[in-house]
Amino acid sequence: MGYGKAYDGVGLGLAIVKKVLDLNKAVISVESKKNEGTIFSINFGKGGQLHENKSKIVAAASVLAAPEEQRKEVFLLVEGDLMNQITIRRFIEKDYHVITTVSSDEAMEIIKKEKIDMILMDISIKGVMNGLELTKELKASKEFSHIPVIAVTAHVFEEDRQTH
């Protein structure tokens, strides 16, 4: 276990929370007193004073915002898990048009019919091919090889990398 604790994590919890809050334009702060404890506060901007740089962030975001008449880029999310689909979609649907599917078969049909700008691909999907096989087929195709594919997967351990 190490470090004298009964249970250890990998140390990513707070970093993940911070990233999720940043994506939602929320602010996390910490107040800690030795031998008394630690308080983490999260401000979503409702009814309280936001972080002093918040107004600069909002101003920068409004300058960079695309006019409504511009076409939103289309992301195809190929994800076998419904909760992951909902979570990922929630983070990106404000800025992108998102099409979702759980299978390689349906993904190919969508890619053939729609102008897809980016694919977010899970490895464990339904259909005749898994996500890795579908990605290899797309990259081998002259018609679709230009579409960027980003792996969205829990297969991140060394054994997974060697297998895939």
107 or 163: whose pLDDT is higher? Answer: 107
**pLDDT on residue 28:** 74
User: Cβ(108)–Cβ(66) under 8 Å?
Assistant: no
pLDDT, average across residues 27-44? 76
Q: Which amino acid is at 70?
A: Q
Range of the domain at 156: 74-163
The type of residue at 116 is I
Closest C-alpha among 109, 107, 129, 133 to residue 120: 107
Whether 38 and 116 share a structural domain: no
Query: Residue 75 — pLDDT band, cuts 50, 70, 90?
Result: very high
Give me the number of domains the chain comprises: 2
| Whether the model pTM is above 0.95 | no
Tokens for 132? 């890795």
What single-letter amino acid sits at 161? R
Give the model's pLDDT for residue 50: 44
Per residue in 41-53, pLDDT tens?
777 665 444 444 4
51: left (phi over 0), alpha (psi -120 to 50) or beta: beta
Say if 1 falls within a structural domain: no
97 or 27, which is more confident? 97
Residue 6 falls inside a structural domain: no
- Between 51-55, 122-126, 131-135, the lowest mean confidence (pLDDT) is in 51-55
Structure tokens at 78: 């190929």
Question: Predicted confidence band at 22 (pLDDT cuts at 50, 70, 90)?
Answer: confident
Q: Within a domain: residue 19?
A: yes
User: Is 104 inside a domain boundary?
Assistant: yes
Q: Which of 42, 64, 86 is the last residue of a domain?
A: 64
